[in-house]
Structure 1
């Protein structure tokens, strides 16, 4: 092995505009510090003073942690506090609107910029608007945003054609350093990233690896204990070609207990110019810069570990949850673009002889998209409010729901646009075609909605199973608990007849105009509780393999959360007298009308079971197709005589 001193990187000369001199961190440089001239020193001190004097203390006291809202729905428990839709203080809203408007203006000015990556001058423009490191402390020249404010900024940033790259840099790369970076890492890497001098890339995905325990990327500590030697291959790294800073996750330890193995990860900050880092060619994907990166005996200083060694898996959930939520904000912007462009296009095609915008076919589509966009926004900001308002709130299911609902409905909106526009949308330069490609990226990169639905259901069932364990045991063994079985048959008669008792009284916490919809919401919560009990009693631990039923359960959960978000938001808007508040009530009621119909059908299929649906037929047909490794039915014109 080459001498460790060979790998020590050249020390950067950084201006200290983000850290007052008394807050400067210890330098790891091996060379003599650069002596500043008096004028430069004075300028830096002046910037330090300006930074400190411009800090506005943000007193944000969180309420005590609540039980997880969505997970409790599976037990039939509804926290009525959630119907009070979260909001910011008046002065916070004023400042936020002002700053977001400025960023949105910048995005529209640079929207047509012909580039495939976040160029340095553009990143520095973002820095001028404090649009990088949104949640960083003000003393670092950050905005010190909460999650709700961050979503508003991300919506504005998503106006740019490189929205996916911007959000990946902000929510995964920069956010890793903001939340978990040491003082040294913040000084050495976060500051340049916030200033736009460097770009980050999040390296976690590996080819054909579905679970982090199967990672092939590994790091071993050198004999002198000063370096980690990194080896492995990461795929589909967003911003990978242009990035200067790589956030890399690798296995650093495997603990074996009998037949059980526990994989432990560590996260590293790796500079692109470290030895052994090789970047592959850019994947041919419109709208983003994605590539593969290989690490071959790459030396990484021990100071470059993010958080603690062997504990990277503990910081991932927070990052991934906020990232999923940020995807919903991009989807809101894309859907809004699609809807607004579609409205303009239809109005331009309308004339006195052909009032296209007054036809039922068009009005139905516009109404559906408006309703789904309203629900997307409502779910996103309700989830953000839960995270902001309660200490260490468990919102993993809520964040997953936000991403699933947003990506699926954005795709539906995109297809609706293509359908209404017709042949013209086939052009590569047509706005509908361009936005459709953006929508595809949002839907399939990193994790698909289908897999995320299964994960969401399993998270909820795992939580509910702890409470229902004894009850489910009795249901699955009726001969041993005859009295319990008879009592349950009597108590379940209304559920079996699809007529649950509505005793949650949710209408008391909403505007009276939502009475019908609030009853529909109660009905859905009760049906969800019933469906959970049916699935656990029928399958027990094997429920993890019943993916078709897990998807149905996830769709029920998503619809209930969407109803909750829409009703809470609309009720608030109407009560405080927001413009179009009456139409918001109409949108919420419309969403609930369709959602309750979907819930009714999905729970019915769950109750009827596998052999009353096509589930078993699909399994048999699938096995046949895999056996012959192709579509097996003969051609319609075939004969055998």
Structure 2
């Protein structure tokens, strides 16, 4: 088995291999973390109940400084910072649970906290030298200093390769001079410390300058623009940043010079879990609101909760939220276990989280009916707050392409190695033997999920069948398109959608297996039912994607779009 397959459940799945040892048994939070987290959640709930007015935050487009001060006192600014640097030292699972709680209480505060620690100073934790950690983490842990992550530029959103901010090394080599700007930076109006990405001189003559990550203090000369006026998360600070001859000491380089892209990717891989956890919390809040509303709202002489279509909405919301919660904590546990590659899993959490929340908030507002549209009630604020999640920390479109291309890179390399080995059969004998063995296994019978509880055998078989389909169609697309697969975004989207549903199914099966083993069939009845419902919905989607590989209207859709680009308008009018 290639080394990369052993390191990632999802990358293994693209080879048709179910690496179930990675996801079974479903993880549990360690006892010491459970106690610390429970106490912290109690404090958070009391504080929010007494001191936080989310409607006011939304109306005034600001979080009261006193609220932030109290959050600092509660230790919320350094949840994952090690205790030796003044933090709470929570695991990723525990951190996700706290972010879940805050995401369900107020989106602006959750985004502010996440920008500070999920991404703002995360690079210092992951790539900082011991000297950098000692200098910055204690003040970041207490909130004396707040952090922000500065990657996006006016001409460089999802395309980090288009970044233009430059960092020139001084003649004596002691400092870099930064020039450029960043846009849409959360916490940009008040952060004291920024993780900034800029282009440094090329390492080799004739090569394009590489990205380098820097720790930049506001006191070095960073300027902020005014707060942006936004659709949602209005209490969070979002500004431009300007770097005009900002001098940054050479010792403030994060990681290696020219390796900033790696820093950005690792930070965002980690940060997406905080976002996903916040979406779980928001879904929980909205489901409670929907359940209250279905019982208080009446139509035709009875509660609307009695009607089948309302029950269908509630069941679907619960099933998708269960799947989201399952992948979020499974992935957080993989990070805690130091699994070396969780990049696809993390991207799935972000996409699934943001789209599940959007579905749940839309259905909750629909259940609320007329009052859902009124400013007097919180539904419309929740809807506005939810929309950003599909855009920041990597748009969902970009992440779908990433999932597919990253997942297919393993099978693609295997196919290329096999082609090379066939040209040199003596040297490549071992590789050809491994490839032949894997092919023989796939012909003789599908890969099995042996650790699923027998009560979930139907769901396990569906998962096995769909895993085989993912591997088959990934390989087919690679054979058909070769290097051009990078441009085949319709195919990428289908592959990514299959991967999302498969990871969700696997997480639900693992979690529900643990529930059955702990509490028996009757005690785990609700988990079993939600897993059954989600798997059924996912199977229908997967069948459609498989059918669409063979027969689709992709080229027609492209042609329609190209004609519309020329028109720059909807082309019809009945007059």
- Tell me the TM-score normalized by structure 2: 0.88
Q: Flag the 1:540–1:303 CA change in 2: closer, same or farther, 3 A.
A: closer
**Is the counterpart of residue 581 in structure 1 residue 524 in structure 2?**
yes
**Is the counterpart of residue 142 in structure 1 residue 87 in structure 2?**
yes
**Is the counterpart of residue 125 in structure 1 residue 56 in structure 2?**
no
Look up the match of 1:75.
Answer: 15
Residues 502 and 519 in structure 1, CA contact (< 8 A), matched pair in contact too: no
Q: Flag the 1:355–1:121 CA change in 2: closer, same or farther, 3 A.
A: closer
Number of positions where the alignment pairs a residue of Structure 1 with one of Structure 2: 545
**Is the counterpart of residue 244 in structure 1 residue 183 in structure 2?**
no
In 2, the alpha carbon distance for the partners of 1:272 and 1:469 equals 49
In 2, the alpha carbon distance for the partners of 1:183 and 1:462 equals 35
In 1, the alpha carbon distance for the partners of 2:185 and 2:400 equals 24
Q: Deviations over 1:326-361 (max 9, x none)?
A: 110011011111111111112111489312111101
Q: Deviations over 1:576-595 (max 9, x none)?
A: 11895211011111111111
Residues 117 and 242 in structure 1, CA contact (< 8 A), matched pair in contact too: no
**Aligned counterpart for 2:249 among listed residues 301, 305, 309:** 301
1:300 match: secondary structure = strand
1:253 match: secondary structure = coil
Look up the match of 1:619.
Answer: 558
Look up the match of 1:541.
Answer: 483
In 1, the alpha carbon distance for the partners of 2:71 and 2:318 equals 31
1:309 match: secondary structure = coil
Look up the match of 1:3.
Answer: none
Q: Deviations over 1:458-506 (max 9, x none)?
A: 111112211123567999xxxxxxxxxxxxxxx99xx9xxxx8754332
**Aligned counterpart for 2:447 among listed residues 504, 510, 516:** 504
Look up the match of 2:387.
Answer: 440
In 2, the alpha carbon distance for the partners of 1:264 and 1:194 equals 31
Look up the match of 1:264.
Answer: 210
Look up the match of 1:636.
Answer: 574
Residues 118 and 165 in structure 1, CA contact (< 8 A), matched pair in contact too: no
Which shows bigger deviation, 561-570 or 406-415? 406-415
Once the two structures are TM-superposed, the CA of residue 422 in structure 1 deviates from its matched residue by: 2.4
Residues 412 and 475 in structure 2, CA contact (< 8 A), matched pair in contact too: no
Q: Flag the 1:437–1:502 CA change in 2: closer, same or farther, 3 A.
A: farther
Q: Flag the 1:581–1:517 CA change in 2: closer, same or farther, 3 A.
A: same
Unaligned runs of 5+ in 1: 1-63, 476-490
In 1, the alpha carbon distance for the partners of 2:268 and 2:209 equals 19
In 2, the alpha carbon distance for the partners of 1:67 and 1:186 equals 28
Look up the match of 1:457.
Answer: 404
Q: CA RMSD in A?
A: 2.7
Look up the match of 1:12.
Answer: none
**Is the counterpart of residue 514 in structure 1 residue 514 in structure 2?**
no
**Is the counterpart of residue 95 in structure 1 residue 29 in structure 2?**
no
- Tell me the TM-score normalized by structure 1: 0.80
Residues 65 and 393 in structure 1, CA contact (< 8 A), matched pair in contact too: no
2:197 match: secondary structure = strand
Once the two structures are TM-superposed, the CA of residue 151 in structure 1 deviates from its matched residue by: 0.7
More helix by share: 2
Larger Rg over CA atoms: 1
Q: Flag the 1:192–1:505 CA change in 2: closer, same or farther, 3 A.
A: closer
Q: What does residue range 217-228 of structure 1 map to in structure 2 within 5 Å?
A: 217-228=165-176
Q: What does residue range 388-407 of structure 1 map to in structure 2 within 5 Å?
A: 388-389=336-337, 391-407=338-354
Q: Flag the 1:269–1:257 CA change in 2: closer, same or farther, 3 A.
A: closer
Which shows bigger deviation, 347-356 or 227-236? 347-356
In 1, the alpha carbon distance for the partners of 2:184 and 2:296 equals 41
Look up the match of 2:47.
Answer: 106
**Aligned counterpart for 1:160 among listed residues 106, 110, 130:** 106
**Is the counterpart of residue 331 in structure 1 residue 279 in structure 2?**
yes
Which shows bigger deviation, 567-576 or 122-131? 122-131
Q: Deviations over 1:140-174 (max 9, x none)?
A: 22122221111112112322342111111111123
Unaligned runs of 5+ in 2: 423-437
Look up the match of 2:430.
Answer: none
Which structure has more RCO (C-alpha within 8 Å, separation ≥ 6)? 2
Once the two structures are TM-superposed, the CA of residue 438 in structure 1 deviates from its matched residue by: 1.2
